[in-house]
Structure 1
């Protein structure tokens, strides 16, 4: 069987962006100058959601342990309390699906790439065991026009090191943002970012979905009214809720959450 080759527009996404640089670079500078820079959610980046009908003190069942690791979305940019960010919202969605309490932690940094996670955050984050690791990365790799080969290498390292440290964990990776739906992005910057993000996502999906204990979410549905924070780039509390519910619903629908039953 011949090897599958991605569409030419994905294979050449960096070259196309480079050719458009005289237009894209000024657009990017104007966008950075005009877009408000929102802070991370205040610390602490951890919390607990009780299981169905359970008080925090009852201890009826061991909580699922969730790590959210990644970029600004792991850091809760766009909300004023970490419980309303991705970590807290994923814990809510998981608890609602499983009926179990969920203890969650988040690690990462605004602006982090996959390489930054490998070099700075992964090892300390994996010092304790987790039942589920949620990986949210790639947007900054796309914004920085990192090569698909480099991104694939870093995702492979994240997978290898996560499962080497905790063979029985499960890893769920988010799809990359649907940049073509970001209203604040002008064309052709919007089209260029989306095209390159799809090239990166294809590489990540091939690795993640090949591992028996990992899964990558499908592309997101259209963003709902109120999804974005005031910068029109990061999710709001509503956006994080919608994202978390979409990711958990998909993981449940394909049977991925059954991996958590053993914990």
Structure 2
């Protein structure tokens, strides 16, 4: 299976025309939800506030939620505050549809200019899979992101999300679903090897089955319940991995 993952882009060729048409139809038919409303920063009261940065694609932009408070940044902030008993100052930076290269080119300077963070949560890779970017290019971009983020925040816990479990997305038709799953696992395998070798960084394992109410109305992005479950899973996993302590 690992060998098949490494050849995931080649595996598309026999059904390439069908996958292409299904991808076009998906982009046409899936409702395009807006980003979460501004502001993309917030505070949770408490002593010695933790500084949290959420950096990434549509999930950093809060697509699927009305506000960032009920999207990933706010939900992560609440989980961190409950864990540590500290306040949390959170901020989100990113763009709906961004892949790893676009994140570097458009937003990494802004993220690094914020000054040192205590926790950086990186959510990227879904659009790299959707765009069938090569594993090598994605891995190089992850190295750049980790290096720059570590330079800006020497003591931060850098947490990277696993890629979406596309095989559980009910709106995706076959064979598109299978190819997206295969290629996303290939990208994740490459990224995981880099993250695991990087000091002070950790990548979440694949998520558990999505709960009822996880998805927003487009059946693609998380809604507030999904962001809550995701944040809880990510923080609990980081604690188990020794990345975060109460």
Shared fold per TM-score greater than 0.5: yes
For residues 91-114 of structure 1, give each alpha carbon's deviation from its aligned partner in whole angstroms, at most 9, with x where no partner exists. Answer: 011111111111100000000001
**Following the alignment from structure 1 to structure 2, what is the Cα–Cα distance between the partners of residues 122 and 153?**
15
Equivalent of 1:29, from 12, 19, 24?
24
Q: Does 1:125 align with 2:115?
A: no
In structure 2, the partner of 1:3 is none
Secondary structure, aligned partner of 1:135: strand
Q: Which runs of 5+ in 2 are unaligned?
A: none
Equivalent of 1:85, from 42, 67, 71?
71
CA RMSD of superposed structures (Å): 1.1
In structure 2, the partner of 1:65 is 51
Q: CA deviation at 1:218?
A: 0.6
Secondary structure, aligned partner of 2:4: helix
Secondary structure, aligned partner of 2:219: coil
Who wins on radius of gyration, i.e. which is larger? Answer: 1
In structure 2, the partner of 1:167 is 154
**Following the alignment from structure 1 to structure 2, what is the Cα–Cα distance between the partners of residues 45 and 19?**
43
**Following the alignment from structure 1 to structure 2, what is the Cα–Cα distance between the partners of residues 94 and 191?**
35
Equivalent residues of 2:51, 2:118 under 8 A apart: yes
Runs of 4+ in 1 over 6 A off after TM superposition: none
Secondary structure, aligned partner of 1:239: helix
Normalising by structure 2, we get a TM-score of: 0.97
In structure 2, the partner of 1:54 is none
Q: CA deviation at 1:50?
A: 2.4
Q: Does 1:107 align with 2:107?
A: no
In structure 1, the partner of 2:40 is 45
Q: How many residues align?
A: 245
Q: Which runs of 5+ in 1 are unaligned?
A: 1-5, 52-60
**Following the alignment from structure 2 to structure 1, what is the Cα–Cα distance between the partners of residues 8 and 40?**
35
**Following the alignment from structure 2 to structure 1, what is the Cα–Cα distance between the partners of residues 192 and 10?**
22
Q: CA deviation at 1:82?
A: 1.1
Normalising by structure 1, we get a TM-score of: 0.91
In structure 2, the partner of 1:153 is 140
Q: CA deviation at 1:23?
A: 0.7
